[in-house]
C-alpha cells in the first residue's frame, strides 16, 4: 500500500510539471537589480511559490543583474540568451517606461516575449486632509482654470512613473497640452507628502502602498485611485478615477518577460506556470502581505497591455519634451 501511495504521489508531481512538451531543466529568474526592491521580490517570491506548487522541477535560481535601470539585463537577454527556454526576467512599469523613452539603447519590447503579470501597485492622487478639493475632476478643473495655481508632487524624477501617471489622468480629463501640468519631483514619496502637508504643493501622486501610512494617520485625502475597480481593504472607500469619469489606469505592474526566441513550448509552459501561480492561495497571501493589488494577465493579453503602455508613455514623453 505504501508503495502504491508513493507511486501515486510521484505521478501527481510528474503530471503537475510535465503536462507540456517542454519542461525547464535549470529554471532561472533574472532580477535586473541588486537584492532588495521590486524586481528582486518578484523573482524570489514567484519562484518560491512555483516551487511550493510543484509547477517547476527543482528550484528557481535567482540571478541579480543590476545596471542601467534594467538595461544591462535586457541587453544580456536580447544579445546573448535570446533562445534560452529556461529563463524568465522580472519586469514592471519601470521597464515599459525605460523602453518608451529609449533608455535601453538599440532594444525594443519586440525583442522579448511578454509572459504575464502577477499583480500591481496602483497609483493614487491625493491632497491634504484639509484641502477644499474633494474629487479628481475638481483638481483637473482647477488646473484648467489656472495651471499655475496647482503644483503636484511625486517621488520620481521628471518623466518618471509618478509624473507620467498624473499626465495620463490629465490627458484623459481633456487637458490637451500636458506640459501645463506643474510637477515637482522629490526624492521619494515620503518627502513629497511632507511638502504636501507643509502647503508647498497642492496635490500628491504616488502608489497606494507608499501612501498607506499617511492615509492611516489621517494626514492625506485620496481623491482618486488609478485602478480598474475599487481596491479592497483600507482603500475600498476611495473612488477610482474611472468612476469619476476619467478613464485612466496607472498600474505599477509586476510581471515577467522571456527571451524573444524561446520556443512556443517554453512560452506555453511559462505563461501557464505564471497563471497557476497567480491563481493560487499561496500567491494571494503573498500579495496581501506585500500590498499588491489584482492584475491578472498572461500571454497575448499581457503583450498587448505592455505595448499599449509603451505607446502611451512614448506619446507623453514626446509631449513633455523628454524624447524627440
When pLDDT is averaged across residues 104-122 and rounded to a whole number, the result is 93
Q: Quote the crossing angle between the two packed helices 264-279 and 38-52, to the nearest 10°.
A: 90
**286 CA to centre of own chain:** 16
**Is the CB of residue 225 less than 8 Å from the CB of residue 75?**
no
Statement: the pTM of the whole predicted model exceeds 0.85: no
With 70 as the cut, is the pLDDT of residue 11 above it?
no
- Per DSSP bridges, beta strands 28-31 and 251-259 are unpaired
Q: What is the pLDDT of residue 207?
A: 83
Least trusted range by pLDDT, from 152-156, 240-244, 280-284: 152-156
Q: What is the pLDDT of residue 19?
A: 60
With 80 as the cut, is the pLDDT of residue 258 above it?
yes
Q: What is the pLDDT of residue 187?
A: 75
Instruction: Give residue for cell 531543466.
Output: 25
Here the cell at position 208 is 497606494
DSSP assignment, residue 82?
T
Q: Is 298 helix (H, G, I), strand (E, B) or coil?
A: strand
Q: What is the pLDDT of residue 272?
A: 97
Q: What is the pLDDT of residue 9?
A: 40
273/37: higher pLDDT: 273
Domain ranges of the chain: 2-120+251-319, 122-244
Alpha-carbon distances of 94 from 17, 49, 76, 160, rounded to whole Å: 32, 24, 18, 8
With 50 as the cut, is the pLDDT of residue 10 above it?
no
* 2-120+251-319 and 122-244 in the same fold: yes
For the domain covering 122-244, report its CATH number. Answer: 3.40.190.10
Distance (Å, whole) CA 163 – CA 204: 10
Terminal C-alpha separation, the chain: 71
Distance (Å, whole) CA 224 – CA 126: 7
| 2-120+251-319 CATH fold | D-Maltodextrin-Binding Protein; domain 2 (3.40.190)
Amino acid at each position: 500500500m505504501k508503495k502504491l501511495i508513493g507511486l501515486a504521489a510521484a505521478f501527481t508531481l510528474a503530471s503537475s510539471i510535465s503536462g507540456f512538451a517542454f519542461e525547464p531543466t535549470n529554471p532561472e529568474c533574472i532580477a535586473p537589480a541588486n537584492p532588495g526592491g521590486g524586481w528582486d521580490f518578484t523573482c524570489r517570491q514567484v519562484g518560491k511559490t512555483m516551487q511550493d506548487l510543484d509547477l517547476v522541477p527543482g528550484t528557481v535560481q535567482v540571478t541579480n543583474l543590476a545596471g542601467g535601470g534594467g538595461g544591462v539585463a535586457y541587453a544580456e537577454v536580447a544579445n546573448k540568451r535570446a533562445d534560452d527556454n529556461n529563463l524568465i526576467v522580472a519586469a514592471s512599469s519601470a521597464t515599459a517606461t525605460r523602453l518608451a523613452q529609449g533608455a535601453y539603447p538599440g532594444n525594443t519590447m519586440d525583442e522579448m516575449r511578454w509572459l504575464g503579470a502577477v499583480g500591481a501597485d496602483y497609483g493614487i492622487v491625493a491632497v491634504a486632509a484639509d484641502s477644499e478639493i474633494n474629487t479628481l475632476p475638481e483638481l483637473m478643473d482647477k488646473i484648467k482654470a489656472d495651471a499655475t495655481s496647482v503644483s503636484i508632487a511625486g517621488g520620481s524624477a521628471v518623466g518618471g512613473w509618478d509624473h507620467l501617471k498624473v499626465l495620463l489622468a490629465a490627458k484623459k480629463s481633456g487637458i490637451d497640452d500636458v506640459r501645463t501640468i506643474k510637477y515637482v519631483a522629490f526624492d521619494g514619496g515620503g518627502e513629497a507628502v511632507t511638502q504636501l502637508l507643509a502647503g508647498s504643493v497642492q496635490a500628491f501622486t504616488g502608489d497606494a502602498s507608499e501612501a498607506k501610512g499617511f492615509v492611516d494617520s489621517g494626514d492625506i485625502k485620496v481623491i482618486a485611485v488609478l485602478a480598474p475597480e475599487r481596491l479592497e481593504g483600507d482603500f475600498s472607500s476611495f473612488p477610482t478615477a474611472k468612476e469619476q469619469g476619467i478613464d485612466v489606469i496607472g498600474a505599477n505592474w509586476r510581471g515577467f518577460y522571456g527571451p524573444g526566441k524561446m520556443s512556443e513550448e517554453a512560452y506555453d509552459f511559462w505563461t501557464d506556470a505564471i497563471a497557476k501561480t497567480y491563481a493560487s492561495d499561496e500567491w494571494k497571501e503573498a500579495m496581501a502581505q506585500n500590498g499588491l493589488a489584482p492584475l491578472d494577465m498572461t500571454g497575448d493579453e499581457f503583450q498587448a497591455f505592455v505595448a499599449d503602455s509603451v505607446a502611451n508613455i512614448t506619446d507623453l514623453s514626446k509631449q513633455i519634451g523628454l524624447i524627440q
